[in-house]
Chain A
Amino acid sequence: MIKKITALAAMGAFLAAPAMAADKVKIGFVTTITTPAGVIGQDMVDAVNLAMEDIGGKMAGLDVELIIEDDGFKPPIGKQKVDKLVKKDQVDFIGGFIWSHVLLASKKSALDSGTFLISSNAGPSQIAGKQCDKNFFSTSWQNDQTPMAMGEVLNQNGVKSVYVMAPNYAAGKNMIAGVERTFKGKIAGRDLTKWGKDAQLDFSAELAKAKASGAEALWVFYPGKAGGALIKQYEQAGLRDTMPLYTVFTVDSIALPKLQAGNLAGVMGSRNTQHWGPDLDNPQNKKFVSGFKKKYGHYPSFYAAQSYDTIFLIKSAVEAVNGDLSNKDGMRAAMKKADFPSTRGKFSYGNNHFPIQNFYLREVVADADGVWTTKIVSTVMENHQDPYAAECKM
């Protein structure tokens, strides 16, 4: 009898909770679908759709509605889309954001309305530091961290001088600051190139300067199609023999298939740093990578891994409050625990809601089927927290 009553009560509680709140979880996802950078956005959307399938389209028994928006690689459009998601769709969570400048322009609209904002990629220093917010979370990294790991790698390899190149926008500057933060040698020269919809793709002048600077190595940050272009031109200029290439966010599973199709073997063996890799050994990542490859026929990128994590982070929050979406404090507390299966394995959140996590050195190799991918070589930084966390009063 008592057993029956408890069971009934439990059932009642279980049924009642969702009934009190909204009938579905609304998630907005802002990324770049058009412009050539749309390739990245597509990878993210693919990962989000896969995650939705893997959770059966439900969180804590509630249906999940996903609204995907295109920022067109432009900060003002990103902001408009966030305004629309907040005011018209009244979403509970907004995820996505490839680009730091788009995120910086859009964040106020989301955060002022009390909506949870989750960056699935961009990690500008401002949000990690002084402008940190209780409702902002990252499933990626702070921009400086990955290049900081690369700076360490340069030190370990005994590189004395390096020439750095990055696009001229918020993240490009963070990335350069990051590598300069840890690299102990000399920065032989710096180039910031035009970025955005009409980004510079021909780096002939910059590569000639790099070569003339006499630096021992070349360090670059070129996400998306610019990365492939840069590597090709690096090869064609014959720099491979004289200036080893170190990259962050440039050689990934978006660039590699194209480089392989073009047979640019020079990229083989090149090294980059990242918080994740398709071969990272944990159950969630195995499930994700094999599921992604099965569904889309190619390796997921780190953008995809972070987007996949975004959905699982949201799920952990919704489940912690039993689907009571009005309980923002409860959801925030749950997300802060980072108690969800992440593709990068277990990690924790810092005071600024950026992950404290490992960074690995990865090498470009061919897998068993001859497909070019990356393999983790070593751990460069363990449980690393970004340098701006101290500026965040939270």
Chain B
Amino acid sequence: MDWGLFTIQMLNGVQLGVLLFLLAAGLTLVFGIMDFVNLAHGSLYMMGAYFCATLVQLTDSFVLGVILALPLTALLGWIVELIVVRALYTHDHLDHVLATFGMILCFDTAVDFIWGPTGMAIPLPEVLDSHIDLFGGHTFPVFRILIISTGLAVAGFLYVMVSHTRIGMLIRAGASNRTMVMALGVDIGKLFALVFAVGAALAGLAGMLIAPITEASIGMGNEIIIVAFVVIIIGGIGSIKGAFVAAMLVGLIDTMGRSFLDQLLKVFMSSESAETSAPALSAMAIYILMAMVLAFRPQGLFPPKVR
């Protein structure tokens, strides 16, 4: 076993987990507190990436681009909540799914109109575009370290906010029993709008962080939103802690599967069939985990206390 490689792959797994957490945090709050299924959460992730790409090209600075794009994505989330989502709270889940699926199509087409179908690259400053040397000749890209630290910082911030502030108390209360919170005279409309906007900004941030690695492209959110749903189901809907743990689990399982499963399979398979089946199996692994969680602990690993 090459422990250096193992460490690198752990870091890669954590980096994927952190990105998933940023997406899942908003999704789980919106689903848990407002009981609203938002398929278009991935579109906000995409919009964040496009806002950031445009602003980086205008300002020539990645940091400035992110700082400006964050409130912009939050604003977009707020507008979406105001115009579309607010009218849907009283409807059932099927209506949510239909409406937000329609929103995905609108966002994808809007991006096609505004930015064209080609996708956009986000150039990074030289400091972030390089790599650092680790032990044993291994290297790790600086930008991925930035992703990990940003994600952990956001997780810490959310933890403090949710567990130790008044607004966090309301969010937790909302996740546990919405009707009671309303009955106690809290302006639930404002709370919902705030949560939705924060969720949008977090999704946007994830988009801004992944785009310099891949690119901003149409439909980028539709690919990852499924995994984000898997994360919140594993973690327990409405729980930030659950989202964090599940995101890490999913990130690590996916990365480790891609890294080592083929070698494992080669022990009892021909090398060609191992190489073909390993990517398929590692893509399946997180869904197998979800199925197991649903079978043995359907409320998820860390469900919010008392519904």
The interface of chain A, by Cβ under 8 A from chain B, is 35-36, 38-39, 42, 168, 173, 190-194, 197-202, 204-206, 208-209, 211-212, 225, 228-229, 232-233, 235-238, 254, 257-259, 261-264
The CA of A42 and the CA of B119, in the complex, are separated in Å by: 13
CB of B283 closer than 8 Å to a CB of A: yes
The CA of A38 and the CA of B217, in the complex, are separated in Å by: 11
Contacts of A257 in B (CB 8 A): 118
The CA of A138 and the CA of B223, in the complex, are separated in Å by: 33
Report the number of A-B residue pairs with Cβ-Cβ less than 8 Å.
121
Known: A192-B276, A194-B279, A237-B131. A201 touches B141 (CB 8 A): no
Minimum CB distance partner of A176 in chain B: B275
Top 10 nearest A-B pairs by Cβ distance?
A262-B121, A238-B131, A236-B141, A204-B12, A198-B223, A229-B214, A201-B214, A212-B5, A208-B8, A205-B258
Q: Is the beta-carbon distance between B144 and A36 smaller than 8 angstroms?
A: no
Q: Among the interface residues A197, A232, A263, which one has the most CB atoms of the partner chain B within 10 A? A: A232
Q: Is the beta-carbon distance between A236 and B275 smaller than 8 angstroms?
A: no
Q: A36-B119, A208-B138 given. 14 additional CB < 8 A pairs?
A: A36-B219, A36-B220, A168-B280, A202-B214, A204-B255, A211-B138, A225-B215, A232-B212, A232-B213, A236-B143, A237-B140, A238-B139, A258-B120, A261-B123
Residue-wise interface mask of B (237-257) relative to A, using a CB-CB cutoff of 8 A (1 in contact, 0 not): 000000000000000000100
Contacts of A200 in B (CB 8 A): 258, 279
Contacts of B16 in A (CB 8 A): 202, 204
CB of B210 closer than 8 Å to a CB of A: yes
Contacts of B217 in A (CB 8 A): 36, 225
Q: Is the beta-carbon distance between B129 and A39 smaller than 8 angstroms?
A: no
Q: Is the beta-carbon distance between B139 and A212 smaller than 8 angstroms?
A: no
Number of B interface residues in the complex (CB < 8 A):
50
Contacts of A238 in B (CB 8 A): 130-131, 139, 141
The interface of chain B, by Cβ under 8 A from chain A, is 2, 4-5, 8-9, 12-13, 15-16, 57, 117-124, 129-131, 138-144, 210, 212-215, 217-220, 222-223, 226, 255, 258-259, 262, 275-276, 278-280, 283
Q: Is the beta-carbon distance between A205 and B117 smaller than 8 angstroms?
A: no
**What is the minimal beta-carbon distance from B204 to any residue of chain A, in angstroms?**
18
Q: Is the beta-carbon distance between B213 and A236 smaller than 8 angstroms?
A: yes
Q: Among the interface residues A197, A205, A228, which one has the most CB atoms of the partner chain B within 10 A? A: A205
Contacts of B118 in A (CB 8 A): 39, 254, 257-258
The CA of A209 and the CA of B215, in the complex, are separated in Å by: 23
The CA of A194 and the CA of B284, in the complex, are separated in Å by: 11
Q: Is the beta-carbon distance between A229 and B213 smaller than 8 angstroms?
A: yes
Q: Among the interface residues B16, B121, B220, B276, which one has the most CB atoms of the partner chain A within 10 A? A: B121
Q: Which listed residue (B5, B123, B124, B283) contacts A209, Cβ 8 A?
A: B5
20 A-B contact pairs sorted by A residue (CB < 8 Å):
A36-B219, A192-B275, A197-B223, A200-B258, A204-B141, A205-B9, A205-B12, A208-B138, A211-B138, A225-B119, A225-B215, A228-B215, A232-B212, A233-B141, A236-B130, A238-B130, A254-B118, A259-B121, A261-B123, A264-B123
**What is the minimal beta-carbon distance from B262 to any residue of chain A, in angstroms?**
8
